[in-house]
Every structure is written in structure tokens, then in C-alpha cells.
Amino acid sequence: MSPQAPTLSPLALQGRAQTQLALGVLLVLSLAPTVADWVRGDFQGAGGRIVGAVLTALVLWQVYRGATWALYLTVVLSVLGGLGLMLLSGLNGFKVQTLILFAVGAGFAVSGLALYSQQAIRAFLEGQRGHR
């Protein structure tokens, strides 16, 4: 007899897409500098960057599965890192790079806050936690 697929509430089903979006944004923003360096041909420290990328993906996967520790770790790091990047971008003067750094910082902060504050995401993660 095969196990039945878990049934989620309509709010949790809506939260699945929002959770995937928030986690996807965090993953893309965290991997973008590494990919940009590799496209330019800079492979210095590639081993450490690969380990960091794998650890990031594993923690985000744990968030998707509903692990509370991973959720809180992700929220804290993304919000603090995003706010720090937004503040430090102002030290660069007013250039295009400043706006890009500010936007990336805002992306981190907003995605991290969405994981914690969006009701649909919380419902989905609670459902995931209940089915583990």
C-alpha cells in the first residue's frame, strides 16, 4: 500500500508557490557572485565556493521541508545580510553599482522577511512540518 500524498489547505497551496519564489530568490542572489566570477574565468577559491553553495542549498531545502531551525537561520542571515548590504551600498557613492547593491540587499531582506511574515508561507511550512 503506497502512502497517500498529504493534503494541504488552499492557503498552504498558495504558500507553496510563494515559498518556492522566496527560496529561489535567496538561492539566486547568493550564488550570483560566484557564477559571475566563474563566467569571467576567475576560479580562485572554487572549492570553498562550491562547499558554500551546497551548504546554502541544503539549508534552503531544510526550510522548504519545514525545519524550524533552518527557517530562523535563513531569516536572520538574509535580513541582517540584506540590511548590511543596503547600508554599505551607500558608502560607494551614487553610481549604478550602488543601486545594484541596494537592490540585492533589499531582495535578501524582503525574501527573508516574507518567509517569516507571509501567512500563506507560514501555513505551507507548518503543513510541511506536520508531514515530516
pLDDT at 92: 75
Percentage of residues in the chain having pLDDT higher than 90: 70
Catalogue the long-range contacts made by 22-28 (C-beta closer than 8 Å, 24 or more residues apart): 22/111, 22/112, 22/114, 22/115, 22/118, 22/121, 23/60, 23/63, 23/64, 23/111, 23/115, 25/107, 25/111, 26/60, 26/74, 26/78, 26/108, 26/111, 26/112, 27/56, 27/57, 27/60
**pTM for the complete prediction?**
0.86
In tens, the pLDDT along 10-64 reads: 888 899 999 999 999 999 999 999 998 999 999 898 899 999 999 999 999 999 9
Residue 120 reports pLDDT greater than 80: yes
Answer yes or no: is pLDDT of 5 > 60: no
58-80 confidence digits (pLDDT tens): 999 999 999 999 999 999 999 99
